[in-house]
Structure 1
Amino acid sequence: MTEVIGVDLGGTAIKLGRFTQDGKCLQSLSVPTPQPAYPDATIDTMVYAIEKLAPGMVDISAIGVGTPGPADAVGRVAKIAINLEGWIDIPVATLIQSRTGIPTIVGNDGNCAGLGENWLGAGRYYRNSVLLTLGTGVGGAVFINGALFTGHAGSAGELGLITFEPQGHPCKSGNNGSLEQFLSGQAIRRMTGKEPKELGIMAAAGDRDALEFWNNYGRNLGIGLTSIIYMLTPEVAIIGGGISASARYFLPAAKQEIDRRVMAVSRPGFQLIEAELGNQAGIAGAAKLAWEMLARQAAKSTNY
């Protein structure tokens, strides 16, 4: 049986899964990301984990890798990963392919999460959608008429890097006050001194300060989504990533803000919903990236 491997590179963990063409995850694995996550050590760890997941690469036809930042248009190079050390123009696909002997493709991790949700999760019912991943950073994915939109150079869809407050906290992207500086796990720690999970537990216990924090967080999310909705008029915005575990405490405020700020004509039937795949979204999407690469290769060989 032919399978592919999806790899999701995160700031704290590298997650992997073996997937069939119909989306079944046969086996998964997670290993710690090296700290600091310099490219050489991280590639070594990814290759080690891939070989552990699929000894001898038996039945593996392709590998897809999601990295936290834009990739080039052909899926060979991780152009930058602003929250990892030293990640500028790293030929991830070539490095992994040369070590494993398996065709490899690389993509943005937000796009991969979107592909996963669009394939197997909350996005499968919609043709025009956006996804925001709220985690260490804030990633995004845009789907137009059922297709992932990455722009002419492969780097479109960085929704977390849009300007939210022009004079706000500096972002590693070079921007100031990006949406990521208000919604990411790093931003939450900077603003509150607490972990997002801790604030979720406090809110569940009825802590008024935590509930007020999440309400304000939701308002900021809604304001950020306002610009995105006006630009793209999606049917749905899907909210994923680790911070979405507390979505019940902030999505109502976000929806209220959107309803107040976006004209009804720009949001007919608009929905704001939680992602369905949780931590599996990234590896599922990376696997989908691999399957799409194989399909393109097959079509090209048929045309010849």
Structure 2
Amino acid sequence: MDQPGELIGIDVGGTGLKVGRFNYAGELLAELNQPTPTPASPQSVCESLIKIVERIDPENKASAVGVGIPGPIDRSGRIARLCINLPGWENVPLADWLEQKLQRPVVLGNDGNCAVYGEHWKGAGEGLQDLVLLTLGTGVGGGVIIAGKLFLGCNGAAVEPGLIGIDPYGPACNSGNNGSLESFCSISALTTSAGCSPLELSQRAAAGDQVALAAWRSYGLLLGCGVSSLIYCFTPQRFLLGGGISAAFPYFAPALRAEVEKRVLAPSRQGLEIMAAALGNGAGRLGAARLALEQLGGSLQG
């Protein structure tokens, strides 16, 4: 993997497609962003990905493509098994479709797993052995690094931290769960409870608006409830918050940390750091490129 070469990493989101071209050292060479097509059917997303790859890599220099998808992927990294916030996505052989058109290896990964992989490679989790990342955006996702390796579970579907329940009588979630962390802490959930977008709520908080500051405290309390459960499960060295809402981390962090301290026994949080992720919305595409580099390593060197 020390030879020169390029990779493409793609982060497929509910509202946007974020694409980067990287060298094998993880350095960004070019980037493109565009809205996710509406409706975001498997076919329309596939067509958009083919076009955007052709735009960012017109000379076909990239050896492989990694794609982060908002849902569980089969363990081979070939099939998008389900995307609860995208219509019509069930057992979609997206890697096969893309390979036929792009004529290079393609591997899929869960978008949260890609994000934690990116942070672990070049971000706020670099050098750590045990790391948890929660992404706060259109949905709530995330990923886990255990003993320096990405945790996928027995069938590749781990982890979906946004789908854990924090209130059995809470609002319905697209997953079929009730009162999931996502149903309380996603962008749409926060917008509904606060009456404005997270960006406006941050702007009002920055100006000292007490109602806005109280809304962020409530958000931190709810988030802290879910984060506490995840800390008990994984006892990481560091817990990162990423995604679009993480830009407001200073406003909800005090309530989040207080809730964790109240709920989690000292041995389970000993040495724990809770902080904002470092790579912003670039973590997913970087992690997708890393996934391609590692899982398709034999093909890249062959």
Q: Percent identity?
A: 48
Q: In the alignment, does 2:62 pair up with 1:53?
A: no
Q: Which runs of 4+ in 1 moved over 6 A?
A: none
Report the alpha carbon displacement of residue 21 of structure 1 after superposing the two structures with TM. Answer: 1.0
1:121-141 Cα distance to aligned partner (Å, 9 max, x none): 001131111000000000110
Aligned residues: 299
Q: Offset of 1:193 from its aligned partner? A: 2.9
Name the SS for the 1:36 alignment partner: coil
1:237 maps to amino acid: F
What's the CA shift string for 1:213-237, capped at 9, x where partnerless?
Answer: 0011111111111111111111111
Trace 1:105-144 onto structure 2 (pairs within 5 A).
105-144=107-146
**1:72-83 to 2 correspondences below 5 Å:** 72-83=74-85
Q: 2:32 corresponds to which residue? A: 29
Q: What is the TM-score normalised by the length of structure 2?
A: 0.96
Greater mean deviation of Cα atoms: 192-201 or 102-111: 192-201
Distance in 2 of aligned mates of 1:53 and 1:140? 27
SS state of the match for residue 125, structure 2?
helix
| Contact 2:190 2:219 (C-alpha < 8 Å) held by counterparts | no
Determine if the alignment matches structure 1 residue 16 to structure 2 residue 29.
no
Q: Let me know the Cα RMSD of the aligned residues.
A: 1.2
SS at match of 1:130: strand
The answer for the alignment partner of 1:151 in structure 2 is 153
Contact 2:5 2:23 in 1 (8 A): yes
TM (normalized to structure 1)? Answer: 0.96
Equivalent residue letter for 2:239: A
**Is 1:280 matched up with 2:282?**
yes
Structure 1, unaligned runs of 5 or more: none
Is the aligned partner of 1:231 residue 2:242? no
- Counterpart CA distance in 2 for 1:99 and 1:81 is 23
User: Which amino acid in the other structure matches residue 11 of structure 2?
Assistant: D
Aligned to 1:213, which of 194, 212, 215? Answer: 215
Shift of 1:252: 1.2
**Could you give the per-residue CA deviations for residues 116-167 of structure 1, whole angstroms, max 9, x where no partner exists?**
0000000113111100000000011011101010101111110000011011
Query: Map of 1:122-271 to 2, 5 A cutoff?
Result: 122-271=124-273
Letter matched to residue 41 of structure 2: Y
Deviation at 1:189, TM superposition (A): 2.1
For the 8 Å contact 2:80–2:91, the answer to whether it is kept is: yes
CA distance in 2, matches of 1:55, 1:71: 28
Which residues of structure 2 form unaligned runs of 5+? none
The alpha carbon displacement at 1:206 in A equals 0.8
- In 2: Cα distance, 1:46 partner to 1:13 partner: 11
The residue identity in structure 1 corresponding to 2:267 is V
- Work out the CA distance in 1 between the residues paired with 2:216 and 2:227: 16
